[in-house]
């Protein structure tokens, strides 16, 4: 695509990390994890428990979990691929926080996600509604666990048109 790209991914169980690394491999670009300041434990991720940290955050539209500053300057990139697991049908609140905190104006932001089955559509709609004015948000893609390089190549091909 000829643009300087960066892949940033939030991943608690490694699936989104895997997708992010494959994507960065296909793009031959830099990648970095977006790490929560306070790592999510297994209990934190228990969606069956309404009191778990992830449940409490996802029930609170305003929750903005802190994250560790990335060791790169986003100014150096024109295109940010932003990966996350689908939580409760949408993007985890830490992703909202990242988009709100960082200066992404003038950049292309391209979401990608992994999930147990949910599509990325609801997250995509939310992100467009909340942040679509300030940044250029392209159509994202959801990968499943058995992602193949061809799926990435096909998506990148679509994006480049």
Ligand X SMILES: Cc1cc2nc3c(=O)[nH]c(=O)nc-3n(C[C@H](O)[C@H](O)[C@H](O)COP(=O)(O)O)c2cc1C
Residues that bind ligand X (CB under 6 A): 11-17, 45, 47, 54, 85-89, 114-118
- Min dist CB 95 to ligand X, Å, is 12
Nearer to ligand X, 107 or 111 (CB): 111
Nearer to ligand X, 5 or 54 (CB): 54
Nearer to ligand X, 85 or 111 (CB): 85
- Min dist CB 22 to ligand X, Å, is 13
| 3-state SS, one letter per residue, for the chain | CCCCEEEEECCCCCHHHHHHHHHHHHHCCEEEECCECCCCCCCCCCCCCCCCHHHHHHHCCCCCCCECCCCCCHHHCCEEEEEEECECCECCHHHHHHHHHCCCCCCEEEEEEECCCCCCHHHHHHHHHHHCCCCEECCCEEECCCCCHHHHHHHHHHHCC
- Min dist CB 25 to ligand X, Å, is 17
Nearer to ligand X, 90 or 107 (CB): 90
Closest residue to bound ligand X by CB: 13
């Amino acid at each position: 695509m000829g643009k300087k790209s960066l892949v940033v991914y939030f991943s608690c169980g490694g699936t989104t990390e895997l997708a992010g690394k494959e994507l960065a491999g296909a793009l031959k670009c830099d990648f970095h994890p977006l790490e929560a300041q306070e790592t999510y434990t297994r209990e934190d991720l228990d969606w069956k428990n309404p009191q778990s940290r992830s449940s409490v955050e996802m029930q609170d539209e305003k929750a903005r979990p802190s994250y560790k500053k990335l060791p790169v300057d986003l100014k150096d990139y024109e295109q940010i691929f932003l990966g996350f697991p689908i939580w409760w049908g949408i993007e985890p609140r830490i992703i909202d926080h990242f988009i709100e905190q960082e200066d992404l104006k003038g950049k292309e932001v391209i979401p990608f996600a992994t999930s147990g089955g949910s599509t990325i559509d609801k997250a995509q709609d939310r992100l467009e509604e909340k942040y679509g004015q300030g940044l250029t948000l392209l159509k994202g893609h959801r990968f499943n666990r058995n992602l193949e390089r061809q799926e990435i190549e096909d998506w990148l091909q679509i994006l480049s048109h």
